[in-house]
Amino acid sequence: MIFWSTISHPEKILCYTATNLSTHELQYALKFGLKFYMRSYQQLIDFLPPLSSFRNEASGMITSYRVNQPQIENSERPALVFLHGFNGSSKSWACQFAHFTSQTVIAIDAPGFGGSQFVDGGMVAIADEVAALISSLVTGKAVIIGHSMGGMLAQVLGATHPDICQAIILSCTHKGRAQPVGSPLRAAEQERIREREVMDDASYGALRVGKMLSGKIDPQIMAFLAAVAGEIRVEGIRCGGFAMQYLDTSPFLDKINAPVAIFTGADDVVVKPDAAAALKAGLPQAHHWLLADVGHAPYCEDSVSFNSAIEQFLDYVSAV
């Protein structure tokens, strides 16, 4: 938890003090003036690494991503690979890029999101594309952190590409919708497509974020999440929607050998309790974190607690 105190000067300049911040967090706070620890969504976006593209020579598919590789890397810390949710993109992980600066951090755009091309073949085919990209950037294994839709992808990655997974973190996710392959796209996703086709970016982003969070949310956090969601394309909705609709990770779970952590937002209105419970039951050895006072976007709603939970799990993984 961060505690801020403010002192108002005659010049109307605010001075901030903070406790329980890492050295980098203090540097980041001081650099940007401490309003999110800074909580200014444009400054979060400006902090992101530029978008890059990877072409899989085997499939010809292009996947976009962002990567930060520090000049002096902590060799004891593995690379972190972040996989976003249905309302996100590689931009979603700005708070994690700002925090994890001593190790390689990679954020990947799902098919149809960012600059990534649409992929046929469901979540297994998507996992193959993501694995090829990770292998091109990382020597050895990485920690896979998947949120919501990205958490479903992380489950499949752990089962089908164990050679690249040192550990897996599943944030606010479930096992998929387990609908018959070939069934029409669900009405909810069809409605999203209709909304995306007629609404401007700002309106669509605000609508989507409003439906995934509850309670009182910092306006700057809402603005950041809405700015990211406002860039979603119809191709992403269709590809991600079908991939989740046809997916049931049940047969994959017992093939995951890497250590697993499950993060749950205490106020998550998207992942229903029975779906969350089914995932936990399928991964009985997983470690659980209940993140207080956050909904379906803990990586941004309370990035300090989210990042701290990642670090705690990494400490456990490095010790076993």
Q: pLDDT by residue (tens digit) across 139-152? A: 999 999 999 999 99
Residue 22 is predicted with a pLDDT of 41
Average pLDDT (253-267) is 97
Q: Cα 247 vs. chain centroid, distance in angstroms?
A: 19
CB-facing half-sphere around the CA of 160: CA atoms within 13 A = 18
Residue 16 is predicted with a pLDDT of 28
Of 216 and 15, the structure prediction assigns the larger pLDDT to: 216
Q: pLDDT by residue (tens digit) across 91-138? A: 999 999 999 999 999 999 999 999 999 999 999 999 999 999 999 999
Of 221 and 107, the structure prediction assigns the larger pLDDT to: 107
CB 50 within 8 A of CB 112: no
Q: Are strands 62-68 and 52-55 parallel, antiparallel or unpaired?
A: antiparallel
Average pLDDT (165-172) is 98
d(CA 297, CA 301): 6
Average pLDDT (281-305) is 96
pLDDT at 202 over 80: yes
* b/e per residue 11-45 (b: at least 16 CB within 10 A): eeeeeeeeeebeeebeebbeebebebbbbbbebbe
Residue 73 is predicted with a pLDDT of 64
Confidence of residue 184 (pLDDT cuts 50, 70, 90): very high
Give the rounded percent of residues in the chain with a pLDDT score beyond 90.
78
Amino acid at 197: E
Amino acid at 195: E
Average pLDDT (21-40) is 41
The answer to pTM > 0.85 is yes
Residue 47 is predicted with a pLDDT of 80
Domains of the chain: 1-38 (no CATH), 52-319 (3.40.50.1820)
